[in-house]
């Protein structure tokens, strides 16, 4: 059974940085993508970043582009989301999710139903 474990959230001041990690276990396939989503209470969940396990192709929504980066540690089945220059509006619960298959990450990726989800990790950015 595939399981995803998200970690690394916390409280940080505006302008600070956090690194989220998403570790997958039970994976028996080689091609997949990890998406990062965030949700503010009372609002819809939004996809913000995607990284492909196959070719490390990445995609970032405009709201985080230039501030967030993603990387793969395939040996550890772990994906990191480095979040720099954090803003109060980045405050949310962050989730990682896995989409099976050869994925070219783009804005269209969010139309697919991700196969597995991790638990959320809270990120709070104070002003």
Scanning the structure block, which residue is given the tokens 């690394």?
8
Q: 110: pLDDT confidence band, cut at 50, 70 and 90? A: very high
Annotate 23-73 with DSSP letters as a single string. EEES---S-EEEEEEEE-TTS--EEEEEEETTT--EEE-TTTTTTEEEEEE
- Count the neighbouring beta carbons within 10 Å of the beta carbon of residue 40: 13
pLDDT tens digits, one per residue of 52-91: 988 889 999 999 999 999 999 877 789 999 999 999 999 9
- pLDDT of 113 > 90? The answer is yes
Q: What is the pLDDT of residue 55?
A: 85
- For the stretch 11-38, pLDDT in tens is 999 999 999 999 999 998 889 999 999 9
């Amino acid at each position: 059974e595939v399981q995803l474990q998200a970690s690394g959230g916390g409280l940080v001041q505006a302008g600070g940085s956090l690194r989220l990690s998403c570790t997958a276990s039970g994976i028996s396939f080689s091609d997949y993508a990890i998406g990062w989503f965030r949700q503010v209470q009372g609002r819809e969940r939004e996809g913000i970043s995607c990284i492909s396990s196959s070719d490390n192709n990445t995609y970032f929504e405009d709201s985080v582009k230039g501030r967030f980066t993603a990387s793969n540690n395939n040996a550890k089945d772990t994906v990191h989301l480095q979040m720099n220059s954090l803003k109060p509006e980045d405050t949310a619960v962050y989730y990682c999710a896995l989409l099976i298959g050869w994925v070219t990450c783009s804005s269209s990726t969010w139309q697919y139903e991700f196969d597995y989800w991790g638990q959320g990790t809270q990120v709070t950015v104070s002003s």
